[in-house]
Structure 1
């Protein structure tokens, strides 16, 4: 598939997550009092991160390597929840997010958690990240891109992953599509973020096309939080 120009789409997302989106999502990912709808998203996101952590630790155990010898890329780190978890396990982390406010909040949270020395934070485009990492994570980022751009970003992430790639996508389901449509009628302060749904068969095909194999796909469901968590590995991963 030919590369496409997604610069305008990325700029729109950067502006959103650096302004209104930052206020909305930093509240959801934090401890602030939020609406019932947003609490379901908080619960679902936490459940997804816990499952990703379990898979990661299983993989580390299978490799027999010390966590301190591993490197990880958190592509689209948001407020740093997964980056901090990685660092707390002793892994050296490169954390990147398109929104500078998100990166600043993540860096502050890492400092408070006492793991800032293990994390390098950068505000920028995940497609500008070079090098390879033992683990690459990209959570609730690809859900914002239509399939051609999804494939373009997935290709880049696959090229960065030496061992394990963990990511989420929004599955195409009639019920989810209906919920997404209904969410458009909520008051603006509670309205859903635009998401792009993709079918599981397409995800499996795209992952394989980039030289990885899908290990597990697990649905994570909590109210308005509907994603599938994917574990993919290289042929030798």
Structure 2
């Protein structure tokens, strides 16, 4: 499967059945099954971890942030609310439309967050912090390597990534169909070795500042904060 085909699959999925499913997971409706509720909890824990890290540094107000793969704005909106200047993008037009509507409804002033439809490799500019959460799971490591290198080129200071870690236990869960809601409900899922992701970051001029791990019954995400050397 080539990167082009993977991108086409992801784009089609999140503009069709995937959009409705993940909008509900990321939303507030209670009309969810057990797996979807668990994924909602896990995803929010990842968002909360990243926001806690940024708040700890006490430099959110006024800094430029690129939220690559913003989904429905779960991270972009609270960052904008905290005063960051957020450039948010997603490969899915429907996701971006939903994020834009949510921002207008939830923020008193949404002028410091801009949403646009772009795939990750098309992003340009320079930002204090670049954040990419729950995106790399859709791409194999050879493609993720190029994506991380491009994200690194956009970051002046900090790069935060999350990915599904490749471990024996999670590989077994994935194989028996318990790790995700089912083959008809998601795109293909790729796990990544943590040491490989760290090597890519080091090769691109960063060192690891913080690590985090979100682990629920059906959601597993390793979070890395890398800072430019």
- TM-score, structure 2 length as denominator? 0.93
Superposed, 1:128-167 pairs within 5 Å as: 128-167=122-161
Unpaired segments of 5 or more residues in structure 1? none
Contact 1:179 1:224 in 2 (8 A): no
Contact 1:16 1:22 in 2 (8 A): yes
Contact 2:76 2:86 in 1 (8 A): yes
Provide the secondary structure at the position in 1 that maps to 2:188: coil
Provide the secondary structure at the position in 1 that maps to 2:221: strand
Distance of aligned partners of 1:50 and 1:185 in 2 relative to their CA distance in 1, 3 Å threshold: closer
Tell me the residue number matched to 2:23.
26
Contact 1:171 1:228 in 2 (8 A): yes
Tell me the residue number matched to 1:209.
203
Give me the whole-angstrom Cα distance separating, in 1, the residues matched to 2:131 and 2:60: 19
| Aligned-residue offset at 1:189 | 8.5
- Are 1:95 and 2:88 an aligned pair? yes
| Aligned-residue offset at 1:194 | 2.2
Give me the whole-angstrom Cα distance separating, in 1, the residues matched to 2:4 and 2:91: 12
- Find the partner of 1:177 among 149, 171, 174: 171
Give me the whole-angstrom Cα distance separating, in 2, the residues matched to 1:71 and 1:184: 38
Give me the whole-angstrom Cα distance separating, in 2, the residues matched to 1:87 and 1:37: 30
Distance of aligned partners of 1:188 and 1:44 in 2 relative to their CA distance in 1, 3 Å threshold: closer
Contact 2:6 2:138 in 1 (8 A): no
Larger % of helix: which? Answer: 1
Distance of aligned partners of 1:184 and 1:67 in 2 relative to their CA distance in 1, 3 Å threshold: same
Unpaired segments of 5 or more residues in structure 2? none
Distance of aligned partners of 1:198 and 1:111 in 2 relative to their CA distance in 1, 3 Å threshold: same
Give me the whole-angstrom Cα distance separating, in 2, the residues matched to 1:171 and 1:149: 16
- Find the partner of 2:7 among 3, 6, 10: 10
- TM-score, structure 1 length as denominator? 0.90
